[in-house]
Amino acid sequence: MELAKLLASWPVVRQLRDGDPLGLGPAVRSRRTDSLVPRTDEADHVVQSVCPYCAVGCGQLVYVKDGEVTHIEGDPASPISRGRLCPKGQASKSYVQSPLREYKVKYRRPYGDAWEELDLDTAMEMIVDRIVETRATTWRKRTDGGAPANRTMAIGNLGGATLDNEENYLIKKLMTALGVVQVENQARI
Ligand code: SF4
């Protein structure tokens, strides 16, 4: 009996028996292959989303189990990306779940050689103080030629590619209201 089983598992026998003479189909499937399941199989549900990283706006399928994101892949239904994601979009699960993600404000003081942790309220107060002081000391009401300017050239804003459209919109509004004209985003550089 054992011998018969052994013979039946021999690939050549399986090729002949299963009508797969070239060994390109079921005859070469191992037990392990048969037991493999997609890593998305355990998800409770799937949410259609859009990659937040750049202006291409590729479609994503976000797999969720017990309220946690378990996997993100390209959405074949997206007319923009048709199931594809670049490596950054493919790795976007790490945006929320990476063990390297920082949850504290990091501050390196002038001439400091190490990062310090600040609580958010302290950091916000420090930013506000600097903006108010810089605007007060560098405000230009007019250009050298006398045209209206109402701006400061001493503050710039550089956004990152993880900012989404709504955040970029609000940042641009805030910067314009502050008279900051040097507004850029890393995704454009
Ligand atoms: S970062 Fe990549 S996956 Fe995300 S929208 Fe841009 S091109 Fe698409």
Read off the pLDDT of residues 135-157 as tens digits, 9 standing for 90 and up: 999 999 999 999 999 999 999 99
State the Cα–Cα distance between residues 48 and 123, nearest whole angstrom: 35
Q: Assess whether the C-beta atom of 69 lies below 6 angstroms from ligand 1.
A: no
As beta bridge partners, residue 151 has 140
Contact 123, 109 (CB under 8 A): no
- CA 85 to ligand 1: nearest atom: 3
Residue 151 CA, distance from chain mean position: 33
pLDDT of residue 1: 64
Query: What pLDDT, on the 0 to 100 scale, is given for residue 5?
Result: 82
Query: Residue 163: exposed, middle, or buried by beta-carbon count in 10 A (0-12, 13-18, 19+)?
Result: middle
Distance of CA 15 to the CA centre of its chain: 45
| Ligand 1 atom with minimal separation from the 54 CA | 6
Residue, of 26 and 174, whose pLDDT is higher: 174
Q: Which atom of ligand 1 is nearest to the CA of 57?
A: 5
**Are 35 and 28 in contact, with CB atoms under 8 Å apart?**
no
The verdict on the CB of residue 52 being under 6 Å from ligand 1 is no
> What are the pLDDT digits (tens) for 29-40?
888 988 999 888
Beta bridge partners of 183: 157
Q: Which run of H or of E encompasses 135?
A: helix 120-138
Write down the residue that tokens 């993600």 correspond to: 101
- Two structure tokens written together for 114: 């190490």
pLDDT of residue 125: 98
**pTM for the complete prediction?**
0.62
Q: Nearest residue CA, atom 2 of ligand 1? A: 86
Strand partners, 59: 50
Contacts of 167 (CB under 8 A, 6+ apart): 159
Per-residue pLDDT at 27: 83
Query: Ligand 1 atom 8: the closest Cα is on which residue?
Result: 58
- pLDDT for residue 19: 87
Give the distance, in angstroms, between the CA of residue 60 and the centroid of all CA atoms in the same chain: 11
